[in-house]
Amino acid sequence: MSDSHTNFDGRAFTACAACGSLTLAAAFVGAVRSAAQLNAGRWANWNRGQLETALNLSEELRRDACEERDELRVENARLQAAMRRVTMRRVAA
C-alpha cells in the first residue's frame, strides 16, 4: 500500500530489504565455508611428526612468553617500590 503523498510502498521496501539481507547472509556463509576448506587444506599435507613438532614449538614459545611476563611483573613491582621510596623522600624533604 503506497502513501498518497510520497508514493512510498512499504511492502516492496520490506521485500527488497529481506532479499538484500538474505543475499548478504548467503555471501557470508559462502566466505566462511571457503575459509574452512582452505584452512583444512593447509593441514592436509602435514604428517604426525610435523604436527607434534609444531605443537611442541608452540608450547615452548608460550612457556617462554609466560616466564618473561612473570619476570617483567617482578621487575615492574620492584620499580614501583623504588618510585614510592623516591616519592616518600621528596615528601619528607
For residue 3, the model assigns a pLDDT of 53
Instruction: Give percent of the chain with pLDDT exceeding 70.
Output: 95
User: Do 65 and 34 reside in the same domain of the chain?
Assistant: no
Model confidence over 44-59: pLDDT tens digits? 788 999 999 999 999 9
Average pLDDT of 27-49? 86
Whether 38 and 60 share a structural domain: no
The domain of 53 spans 47-93
Residue that the C-alpha cell 548467503 belongs to: 26
For residue 84, name the pLDDT band (cuts at 50, 70, 90). Answer: very high
Distance of CA 73 to the CA centre of its chain: 25
Mean pLDDT of the region 18-33: 90
Domain count, the chain: 2
CA distance 89 to 92: 5
pLDDT at 40 over 90: no
Measured CA to CA, the distance from residue 13 to residue 16 in angstroms comes to: 5
Residue 12's pLDDT is 86
Report the share of the chain in percent with pLDDT over 90.
Answer: 55
Residue 34 pLDDT exceeds 60: yes
Residues 38 and 65 in one domain: no
Domain match, 39 and 60 both = no
Task: State whether 24 and 54 are in the same domain.
Answer: no
